[in-house]
Amino acid sequence: MHLNTSNKKKINFSKMHGLGNDFMVIESITQDFVLSSSQIKQLSNRHTGIGFDQLLLIEKSNSVEFDFYYRIFNSNGNEVEQCGNGARCVGLFLILKGLTNKKKINLNTNKKNIIINFISEDIIEVNMNEPIFTLNSIVNSEKFKNHNFLTKILDNNLLCSLVSIGNPHCIIQVESIKHAPVKTIGRIIEKQSIFPEGINVGFMQILNKNYIKLRVYERNEGETQSCGSGACAAVAVGIIQNILSNNVQVELLGGILSIKWKGFRNSLYMTGPAKYIYEGCIYI
């Protein structure tokens, strides 16, 4: 069968994942194209498109301080601020495509700047900067005086802890993530009007001070196999509550991340794998 692509623009892409959190990665450094929100939504469809949790777009940086500009789009076409698993995949993509030979890469995003360090061929450390606990970065209600608050949802009394890792997170400690109502409670909290940009909801089970299990309901996405910024958020909350150590292994549905944070006025570091799956092209 012959496809007529003469009037369409060819875009090369790579499919990648970080612990099952999967991405379509595209660079606009050597390619010239524009994707609309509706086109991103179509491409994200797992039945009729490429299928992915997020689209990662790599552009030239406008500043000599940074190597590249990095943008993240959810599967609904909306641009978001941060993706820890995606950052590791971007680093691996840049090396595989020969766009850099650096082992330390400075990325500029629309809210935070992050630094990627290669520990080994596919194990990558990301400097996620310092977690933000100031409430005005997360909520639009003056009734909140503390980043911890109690709420009752579906007969469950929940202690919620708020933190921003460049994107907003609500962390809830549970006895067992296996039995936690992740989808129902995550959906309710995500849509609360007090969160102007929505919020990611993490359900954390503490096994000991150095090891936790985590499931994350991501805003506009639902539960995903892994959420790097969610792992960072959970550990940050546990550290300031003095229930976790400064070095924690986080077991997500897709695998394990290592999170290190020495506390306030220090950057938080996330280490984990990035995997290349395949590459292809689309015509828009």
Judge contact between 232 and 258, C-beta under 8 A.
no
**Catalytic residue numbers?**
83, 227
Joined tokens for residue 162: 């708020």
Task: Report the alpha-carbon distance of residue 16 to residue 235 in Å, rounded.
Answer: 25
Residues with Cβ < 8 Å from 74, sequence gap 6 or more?
53, 54, 80, 218, 219, 220, 221
Matching residue, tokens 């390619």:
31
